[in-house]
Amino acid sequence: MVIRKLFALSRRRFVPSGRRSASTDAADALSIKGAAPSLAKPPVMPYDRLVQAVRSKIKKLDDPDPRFLRHASPQPALADHTAILTAPETRVTTLPNGLRVATESTLASRTATVGVWIDAGSRFETDETNGTAHFLEHMIFKGTESRTVRQLEEEIENMGGHLNAYTSREQTTYYAKVLDKDVPKALEILADILQNSSFDGKRIERERDVILREMEEVENQTQEVIFDHLHATAFQYTPLGRTILGPAQNIKTITKEHLKNYISTHYTAPRMVISAAGAVKHDNLVELVKNLFPKLSNDPTTASQLAAREPAVFTGSEVRIIDDDIPLAQFAVAFSGASWTDPDSIALMVMQSMLGSWDKNSGGGKHMGSELIQRVAINEIAESVMAFNTNYKDTGLFGVYAVAKPDCLDDLAYAIMHEISKLSYKVSEDDVTRARNQLKSSLQLHIDGSSPIAEDIGRQILTYGRRIPVAELFARIDAVDASTVKRVANRFIFDQDVALAAMGPIQTLPDYNWFRRRTYLLRY
């Protein structure tokens, strides 16, 4: 009896999983029809719905919409930029006192930008004088020994020109954009304000209130605040960690003597570059500079020597400011980067392009080349993401800045650290080629116009001692391949300390040790 029963069971036709015969379906239907309610199909639980949603998003990431792939180029080709490599020559003349004059002439243009780029900024101040460089930028336009404020403003407006200035951590710039016929007049005004500013006491007192109001406005610019905090924690106890505006207490105590002492100490001829671009003639500009800048100091001390006395030391650390009144959380995570002259600085620029930047309001993102941007856009875990690479004389900062809703911080932090750490392990040549093309295009788009060109000339001469030709720069970018990216990532990212600055409703942002552990991947 038992043997007959086993034989009958063995004769049942085996139906593979996922395939059902008609007889099996009929038998199941009969059994379910008279079955108890407890044998019915169980309901879908919320966790199962979440798993299905995640799987569908991953499927979209791995298998994007074919409608978009028709117009995409999955295999990028190296772009040929031969046509734009014939840029005008940058001519540089060094005067006997060490002052450098650099020009790029575009005679077909009818406008020109001329300015003074100075190798001095907030980095070269002390704790007591922090904020002097920015205060001086404000006071430099408040009248000279031969011009009142009104006369100065009227001269610029009558020319139809534009006079401006800005201060960074390592450089200060004063420049004017005018018509070609007004270049000598603009250069004479720049020479007058830099050498003969009066620094009237009443003007100084009035400007204190202006700068204090400016500090209040900057406090409302959250991105500026985050990067100030990032520098303060990454370069703590070093001059590079100070803010450009300086503390409010210093603004209230800066005097005329502080301003004059800063000019005599840092506004020296060897640390200054007269840069011009557009409708200018180099030889004529050199003769003008010789006659207009006779009062500059010849002190040979360079900014690099000053920076070497107080080097910027990177410290792995974090600063968090919890503020639940802000609707969005934001944070920046950074590694110690490369200096301007570091051979790997170009590779870090390519890596920045690989990580990319994206804003929710700009659209796109799901089909961008950057895998970080794809992750963020498909999963909708951030409002904006931006990779950054900041260079200084002896160090730098390389990382990612992001803005997100409070409940997305955990997933966003994981996506950022995963993609950054992956640069040490898995890099495809297609991604590097795409990043190189994007970097070269963005560099050329950035110097569209006489003002960006003059700025590029002044900055490069202060940092490199020369202006790198476009052909050489593109050749250095094209020399970066997947193996170079892996090597540079292992130098700057793999198992390295990080600096973290965060602000807003950041209770769900992982702690510092979480970020530090994800600078490498455990693979066996």
- b/e code 459-498 from CB counts within 10 Å (16+ = b): bbbbbeeebeebeebbebbbebebebbbebbebbbbebeb
Q: Answer whether 345's CB lies under 8 Å from 391's CB.
A: yes
Options 125, 207, 371, 455, the catalytic residue: 207
Could you give the CA distance from residue 142 to residue 421 in angstroms, rounded to a whole number?
Answer: 50
Element spanning 369, H or E: none
Give residue 363's region: left, alpha or beta (phi > 0; psi -120 to 50): left
End-to-end CA distance of the chain: 56
Q: What is the DSSP letter of 295?
A: S
3-state secondary structure of 144: strand
Angle between helices 345-355 and 470-478 (to 10 degrees): 70
Active site residue 128: no
Q: Answer whether 103's CB lies under 8 Å from 136's CB.
A: no
Active site residue 207: yes
Strand ranges inside 294-421, DSSP E: 317-322, 329-336, 357-359, 384-391, 396-404
Q: Answer whether 93's CB lies under 8 Å from 149's CB.
A: no
For residue 331, give the nearest of 495, 198, 482, 500 by alpha carbon: 500
Options 104, 125, 137, 318, the catalytic residue: 137
Residues with catalytic function: 137, 207
